[in-house]
Amino acid sequence: MWSLIRQSIAMRKVQSASVLVGVVLGVASLFALFLLYQGVFSGIATSISRDGADLLVIPSDAESSVSDDDLLFTGAPVTMYFSSSVADQIAGIDGVERVTGQFYGQTLDASCCSSIGAVRLVGYDASIDWVIRPWATMDGGEIPSQLVEGEVIIGSNVKGFGVDDPKVLGNPVTVVAVLAPTGTDLDDCILMDIDQVRAISAATDGYGHYWEKYGDPTGLLSAVLVSVDDGDQDAVAAKIEALGGVHVIKSAEAVKEVQGQMRVVFQVMLGAGVLLAVASLAKLFARFFSMAWDRRRELALYRAVGASRRDISRLIAGEAAVLVGAGSAVGLVLGVGLYRLMLGLLTTQGGFPFIACAPLVVAGGAVIIIVIFAIAGALAVAAPLRQAGRIDPASALQQVDID
């Protein structure tokens, strides 16, 4: 039986290949889409649930270098500064609940540090921060209420700190916490106490022109994160803007913007994915419908020499199962590749929070897609099977040879 299935597939190479390719593309696109969708929306959901900042305030001269949605989640550490007095002014505004400042230091690489690849040094004040703290993973450690010299927190993508004597810019450091994946540039950051980063930056070669321009780093901030009392965010934002020299990003709007962009992207992709899936199932149906018809003499002969109706059904269903099974397996692998490709393309379009699916979710998605294709495949061969069941074994005795 198995050898008949194999031969039948091998014999109809073009047809089999086109069905196979159809299933592969359908499964791959749906799977890639599933992984992306899960990643993007769990990223957004996590960002929202972590109750970050309502408003992000940055120097107005940095505005042109990054877009709002970059800044929202990532804090997109760019080299930009304003006076730390801005934070005090904002804290004094009516309706502002909490304020915390960040200082963006230099980009670090393997030449100076234990880290592998480029990471950003970010200084913040752990004693008043509420934005970073919730991202500390359970097993990644608890963030102390105050970071002392040499203590660092690393983002989920930062590698190379597993060694015995991790270093940052030649100084020995201790990793006190690892952050959960945020899907943002935060994943590529090393966080230190803000005053230590200021001191390091002040001493860094090539940064002198910044301090000439903005003043001594001890009095500077790169961004102020603001949480607003329940009430009118817009009014508070307007009051902050009125301080001058600052640009305010509203997180609710930025989230909406990112979600809106993603939704459009996903609708387009979903349309394409569904179309591909439907086309592949239509191909499957056509293949098996015409197969049962083209091969009715062959199937009649099988009946005549001892195949029961059930054997014939098994033959056809087995062929469909092999094509759908093999196509799904290849499709899942290809889907992962497609997912990486699309993720790469999307991230070049701007930062957005992305959290890769947990293995269990990936497996669940794979199972769901395989089940969908199995059911659709079964529906596609149902009619051909019924047709094959009616094949008259006596027609095998009629004159024409089987081709």
Partner 1 sequence: MSLDAFGITHSYDDDPVLADVQLSLAAESSVAIMGSSGCGKTTLLSVLGLLLAPRAGTVAFDGRSSSTMDEPERARLRGERIGFVFQTAQLVGSLRAWENVVVPARFRAGKAAGAAARARDLLDGFGLSDYAEHFPHQLSLGQRRRIALARALLLDPALVIADEPTDDLDADNARFVADTLFARTQEGGSLIVATHDRVLAERADAILMLEDGHLDPVSDT
Nearest distance, CB of residue 303 and partner 1, angstroms: 7
172-203 burial string, b = 16+ CB within 10 Å, else e? ebebbbbbbbbbbbbbbbbbbbbebbbbbbee
Q: Which helix (H) or strand (E) holds 19?
A: helix 13-49
40 vs 300, which CB is nearer to partner 1?
300
Spatial separation of the C-alpha atoms in residues 280 and 265, rounded to whole Å: 22
Nearest distance, CB of residue 44 and partner 1, angstroms: 54
127 vs 308, which CB is nearer to partner 1?
308
14 vs 163, which CB is nearer to partner 1?
14
Q: In whole angstroms, how far apart are CA 89 and each of 71, 100, 226?
A: 21, 12, 12
67 vs 395, which CB is nearer to partner 1?
395
The footprint of partner 1 (CB under 8 A) covers 1, 3-4, 7-8, 11-12, 297-298, 301-311, 392-394, 396-403
Nearest distance, CB of residue 401 and partner 1, angstroms: 5
DSSP 287: H
Nearest distance, CB of residue 32 and partner 1, angstroms: 36
Nearest distance, CB of residue 291 and partner 1, angstroms: 12
49 vs 308, which CB is nearer to partner 1?
308
Q: For residue 54, how many C-alpha atoms fall within 13 Å in the half-sphere facing its CB?
A: 18
97 vs 298, which CB is nearer to partner 1?
298
Spatial separation of the C-alpha atoms in residues 398 and 401, rounded to whole Å: 8
CB atoms within 10 A of CB 312: 21
Nearest distance, CB of residue 16 and partner 1, angstroms: 12
DSSP 98: E
Spatial separation of the C-alpha atoms in residues 389 and 334, rounded to whole Å: 36
